[in-house]
Amino acid sequence: MGGGHEVDVTVAFVHRFDGFDVGPVEEWYQWTIAQAGQDAPLKVTRAGGVPEERRRDAVTHYPAPWDKWRDIHVERTPHTLLIVDATLRAEAQRYAPIAEQAAADDLAAWRAGGVTGETPPGFVISLVKGLSELGSLYRTTKETPTESGIAIPVPPEGVLDGDENDPVVGATRVVIDVRDEYHFTKGTRERQLNLFRHEIGHALVGKLTGRAPGSSLVGEREKWVVEGSRNTWATAGSPG
Average pLDDT, the chain: 84
Domain count, the chain: 2
Beta strands per DSSP E along the chain: 5-15, 25-35, 43-49, 72-76, 80-85, 123-128, 149-154, 171-177
Of the chain, the percentage scoring pLDDT greater than 90 comes to 56
Q: Is residue 59 part of a domain?
A: no
Beta strands per DSSP E along 42-170: 43-49, 72-76, 80-85, 123-128, 149-154
Q: What is the pLDDT of residue 225?
A: 44
pLDDT at 158 > cutoff 50:
yes
Contact 150, 57 (CB under 8 A): no
CATH value at residue 203:
3.40.30
Q: What is the DSSP letter of 51?
A: P
Claim to verify: residue 78 and residue 144 sit in the same structural domain:
yes
Q: What is the pLDDT of residue 115?
A: 75
Claim to verify: residue 127 and residue 197 sit in the same structural domain:
yes
Claim to verify: residue 173 and residue 84 sit in the same structural domain:
yes
Q: Alpha-carbon distance 190 to 27, whole Å? A: 34
Claim to verify: residue 87 and residue 206 sit in the same structural domain:
yes
Q: Is residue 182 part of a domain?
A: yes
Claim to verify: residue 32 and residue 140 sit in the same structural domain:
no
Claim to verify: residue 93 and residue 188 sit in the same structural domain:
yes
Strand-pairing partners, residue 176, are: 127, 149
Output the CA torsion 217→146→104→88 (10° steps). 110
Q: Is residue 147 part of a domain?
A: yes
pLDDT at 119 > cutoff 90:
no
Claim to verify: residue 28 and residue 75 sit in the same structural domain:
no
Rounded alpha-carbon distances, angstroms, from residue 39 to 46, 112, 134, 144: 21, 64, 45, 48
The predicted-structure confidence for 199-223, as pLDDT tens digits, reads as follows: 999 999 888 776 555 555 544 444 4
**The domain containing residue 209 runs over which residues?**
65-235
The predicted-structure confidence for 43-82, as pLDDT tens digits, reads as follows: 999 988 887 654 445 677 889 999 999 999 999 999 999 9
Predicted structure pTM score: 0.84
Q: Alpha-carbon distance 181 to 148, whole Å? A: 9
**At 179, is the pLDDT very low, low, confident or very high (cuts 50, 70, 90)?**
very high
* Beta strands at 171-177 and 123-128: parallel, antiparallel or unpaired: parallel
